[in-house]
Every structure is written in structure tokens, then in C-alpha cells.
Amino acid sequence: MLTKLREKIKPVMDTIAAGSAKLIPSPTGWTFIGFLLSILAAYLYSSHFAIPAGASVLLSGFMDMLDGAVARKVGKVTARGGFLDSNLDRAGEAAIYLGLILSNDIIALYAATAMALSLLVSYARSRAEASGLKAEGVGYGERAERLIILAVASFVGFLNYGIILIIILAGITFVQRLYVYGSKL
């Protein structure tokens, strides 16, 4: 759902990327900052600081948009950079769920299920793209939506409900991707 919004805010991100590229011209630098913010969020969740963890989750998601915008701005869009970004995004998201599990503030089985489904959603897209399909924008629970739900649930104090919503949306998205991509192969 947010994939369509990305196109609308692209001019704004391009402007931010121009300034950010002057500060750190390496898109990989921004990728690592986003990953470190995910690790920080995991630590904050495990330490029972849900609100700052939610803010860190949002910032890591913003860095995920920014690294690509910086790459386009400085002409450094590469397969290697995309590969690193995609893998660190998955590792960061898994770390966040592990931090939630360690916190004991939520039902661990919920977080483990959300993590598994989130990784399956990403894997389905990766396999579709490896098969030559354009795979962006399929499903209601892509990574951006999941991170926003988690952050909002953190801010309002309803983490278990947020995780349940992530499970539902990620499950639906995984089935959508199986159907959409499978029918095109």
C-alpha cells in the first residue's frame, strides 16, 4: 500500500537525499545507519523502552528510503548495494522481533510468527524477482507497513495487538504473493 505513496513523496526524498549525500555520500553508509537503528530498536525493546524503540523503528525505515534516494542522487545504484541493503533490512527486522521476544513484554510466539511471516513475504518477493518478475507492491503488509504498525503500537502501548495485526497482514501478503507470482510463472 505504501509503495504508491513512495512515488508521491519521491520529489521530497530526492531533496532530502541531495542534502544527505553532502553529509554522507555513500548510500552504503546510510544502509548501515538504518541497520544500526534496527539493532538499537531491538536493544530498546529488550530493555522495555517501547516508545524510543518505536521511534528507532521509524527512523530505520526512513533510512531505508533514504539510502536508495542517495544512491540514485550520486549515481551509485548497484546490484551489490541493493543486495546489501535487502539483506541488512531483513537482518534488522529479525533483530527487532528478537528484541521483542527477549523483552517478555509481548507473547513470544506472536513475535516469532510475525518474524517468520515477514521473512516469508520478503523471500517470496526475492524469488519472484530472481525469476524475472517485477515484484514490488504486491500485498498489504510489505516491510514499510509492518514497521509503521509496530512503531504505532509501540507509541500507544498495544504491542501485542500490533504484532497480531502484523501477523494477519503478513500472512495475507504471503498468500497474495504466492498467488500473484505463481500465476505469472
CB 14, CB 65: distance < 8 Å: no
Residue 125: half-sphere exposure toward Cβ, Cα within 13 Å = 19
Helices (H), strands (E): how many in the chain? 7, 0
Please pick, among 64, 67, 89, 105, the residue that the annotation labels catalytic: 89
- Residue 30: exposure state from Cβ atoms within 10 A (0-12, 13-18, ≥19): buried
Catalytic residue status for 64: no
Closest CA to 75 of 33, 25, 12: 25
Cα–Cα dist 55/61, whole Å: 10
Q: CB atoms < 10 A from the CB of 76, how many?
A: 15
In the numeric block, the cell 509481548 is attached to 106
Would you mind telling me the total number of residues written for the chain in this entry? Answer: 185
> In angstroms, what CA-CA distances link 85 with 43, 65, 99, 137, 177?
21, 10, 21, 18, 21
Catalytic sites, residue numbers:
89
